[in-house]
Amino acid sequence: MSFIWTIAEQHDGELKAVSFELLARGRALADALDTRLASVLIGAEVSEAQLQELVVRGADEVYYIEDRRLAEFVCESWSNTLATLVRQYQPAVILAAATSTGRTLMPHLAVKLNAGLTADCTELAIEAGTDNLLQTRPAIGGNIMATIKTPDNRPQMATVRPRSTVPLPRDPQRAGKIIRVPADEAEVETRVRVLGCRTDAEDFVNLEEAEVVVAGGKGMKRAENFALLRDLAAQLDAMVGASRDAVDRGWIGYPHQIGLSGKTISPKLYIGAGISGSIQHLAGIKTAETIVSVNRDPDAPLHSIADFAIVGDLFEVVPELTRRLKALKAAET
Ligand SMILES: Cc1cc2nc3c(=O)[nH]c(=O)nc-3n(C[C@H](O)[C@H](O)[C@H](O)COP(=O)(O)OP(=O)(O)OC[C@H]3O[C@@H](n4cnc5c(N)ncnc54)[C@H](O)[C@@H]3O)c2cc1C
């Protein structure tokens, strides 16, 4: 019996990177408990090679529930299907990603299973002696880290922020079992009909996957000034992010928010302009490789963690960066 499960995610038959991040988390827990790790995938037309990739990245077993009607995420039918599988195999732990799919699915599933659920965990561990899952997440505005456990109910369920873990390296020698689970007619039946998916909408800003992010805060002063950041972003093939203050003022949409109550990003390069660097904002950029801060206040907290701190007026510095990048590109061609 597998005791640790991860819920893999796919789009159009392609596994999402977060599926491998969850396996890294799950592997550590399964090894600590000396038990097996399974990944559950729901969808349609996922190739054998993709299923095998879950094994190569750490799973001992893969449960693949395939049905054309399950290709797109529909909470009701996915949750029904998963609940049946959980009742059958009784895993001790289920980890899902804190993506919009995971955040919607897991509460629904938790209610069905009468289980607890800790959202947005940053640390997971096994408690010595009890084998309970220790689920740690920021609480009270990010000022403390709270560790939560569920000693009485099973499964223990948690969501984990995308990009908060590095996937395990591929191990093509790993062997595992692919178990194809037929979908139950009654469970797949749903009152929801998917008419299509909009991937052009603002909600789909995929900041988590961006290699370069240029973000603006309250120092940007008004919505129109974000055009300066978009110009810079265009030179760097970057996406535009923001602090909560900028989002709350309506200068840019919520999907751009970085931080504790926004997105966790892990780009190679993050440039923050007019962002002070509150603890809640920093929670979202902890794993960025290189941090550049542009702020006229030399004591801004973002400066102190930045690899490059530019003390100056962003309305001079940002256009100057854009100008120099343009000049560099022109010189290269
Ligand atoms: C529960 C909770 C969750 C939260 N979640 C988030 C979150 O997810 N993300 C987040 O960002 N915040 C979050 N916050 C809010 C957070 O506490 C801060 O209020 C917010 O991050 C501040 O945004 P800011 O840096 O843009 O603004 P400020 O802190 O006001 O900083 C603006 C900065 O701009 C600089 N500046 C001004 N003019 C210029 C100029 N011309 N040139 C250069 N620099 C200039 C100033 O020196 C200042 O440092 C959360 C708060 C709570 C309580």
Query: Which domain CATH number covers 223?
Result: 3.40.50.1220
If you measure from the C-alpha of residue 302 to the centroid of ligand 1, how many angstroms do you get, rounded to a whole number?
10
Residues 167 and 292 both lie in one domain: no
Residues 141 and 280 both lie in one domain: no
Residues 10 and 69 both lie in one domain: yes
What is the predicted pLDDT for the residue at 195? 80
Tell me if 196 is assigned to some domain.
Answer: no
Residues 117 and 260 both lie in one domain: no
Q: Which of 260, 263, 282 to mutate to test the pocket of ligand 1 (most atoms within 8 A of CB)?
A: 260
Tell me if 74 is assigned to some domain.
Answer: yes
- The helix/strand/coil state of 200 is coil
User: Residue 237: which region, alpha, beta or left (left: phi > 0; alpha: psi -120 to 50)?
Assistant: left
If you measure from the C-alpha of residue 55 to the centroid of ligand 1, how many angstroms do you get, rounded to a whole number?
42
What is the predicted pLDDT for the residue at 139? 81
Tell me if 303 is assigned to some domain.
Answer: yes
Look at residues 165, 188, 211 and tell me which one is the last residue of a structural domain.
Answer: 188
Tell me if 136 is assigned to some domain.
Answer: yes
Range of the domain at 279: 202-332
What is the predicted pLDDT for the residue at 145? 86
Residues 219 and 305 both lie in one domain: yes
What is the predicted pLDDT for the residue at 201? 54
Q: Whose CA is nearest to atom 30 of ligand 1?
A: 218
What is the predicted pLDDT for the residue at 193? 80
The set of protein residues with a Cβ atom below 6 angstroms from ligand 1 is 141, 217-219, 243-246, 257-262, 274-276, 278, 280-281, 284, 294-297, 300, 313-315
Tell me if 193 is assigned to some domain.
Answer: no
Helices (H), ranges, 59-123? 75-89, 100-113
Rounded Cα distance, 146 and 323, in Å: 46
If you measure from the C-alpha of residue 142 to the centroid of ligand 1, how many angstroms do you get, rounded to a whole number?
14
- pLDDT tens per residue across span 248-305: 999 999 999 999 888 888 899 999 999 999 999 998 998 899 999 999 999 999 999 9
If you measure from the C-alpha of residue 159 to the centroid of ligand 1, how many angstroms do you get, rounded to a whole number?
26
Q: In what helix (H) or strand (E) does residue 101 lie, and over which residues does it extend?
A: helix 100-113
Instruction: Report which of 117, 147, 151, 153 is spatially closest to residue 135, judged by C-alpha positions.
Output: 147
If you measure from the C-alpha of residue 283 to the centroid of ligand 1, how many angstroms do you get, rounded to a whole number?
13
Domain count, the chain: 2
Can you give the CATH number for the domain in which 105 is found?
Answer: 3.40.50.620
What is the predicted pLDDT for the residue at 2? 52
What is the predicted pLDDT for the residue at 198? 61
Tell me if 197 is assigned to some domain.
Answer: no
Burial 206-219 (b: 16+ CB within 10 A, else e): ebbebebbbbbbbb
Instruction: Report which of 246, 284, 280, 287 is spatially closest to residue 266, judged by C-alpha positions.
Output: 287
Look at residues 188, 214, 238 and tell me which one is the last residue of a structural domain.
Answer: 188
Residues 96 and 50 both lie in one domain: yes
If you measure from the C-alpha of residue 274 to the centroid of ligand 1, how many angstroms do you get, rounded to a whole number?
8
Look at residues 157, 188, 219 and tell me which one is the last residue of a structural domain.
Answer: 188
Q: Are 236 and 214 in contact (CB under 8 A)?
A: yes
- pTM exceeds 0.85: no
Tell me if 59 is assigned to some domain.
Answer: yes
What is the predicted pLDDT for the residue at 203? 54
Pair type for strands 144-148 and 133-139: antiparallel
If you measure from the C-alpha of residue 279 to the centroid of ligand 1, how many angstroms do you get, rounded to a whole number?
9
Residues 170 and 217 both lie in one domain: no
Q: Whose CA is nearest to atom 29 of ligand 1?
A: 276
**To 5 degrees, how large is the angle CA 291–CA 295–CA 296?**
155
Residues 220 and 252 both lie in one domain: yes
Residues 176 and 210 both lie in one domain: no
What is the predicted pLDDT for the residue at 271? 98
Residues 184 and 209 both lie in one domain: no
- The helix/strand/coil state of 20 is helix
- State which amino acid sits at residue 267: P
CA of 302, closest atom in ligand 1 = 49
If you measure from the C-alpha of residue 161 to the centroid of ligand 1, how many angstroms do you get, rounded to a whole number?
22
What is the predicted pLDDT for the residue at 161? 85
Place of tokens 């129109």: 224
Q: Whose CA is nearest to atom 31 of ligand 1?
A: 276
Rounded Cα distance, 13 and 16, in Å: 9
Tell me if 195 is assigned to some domain.
Answer: no
Q: Whose CA is nearest to atom 52 of ligand 1?
A: 141
Q: Whose CA is nearest to atom 53 of ligand 1?
A: 141
Residues 147 and 11 both lie in one domain: yes
Residues 169 and 235 both lie in one domain: no
Show the low-confidence residues of the chain (pLDDT under 50): 1
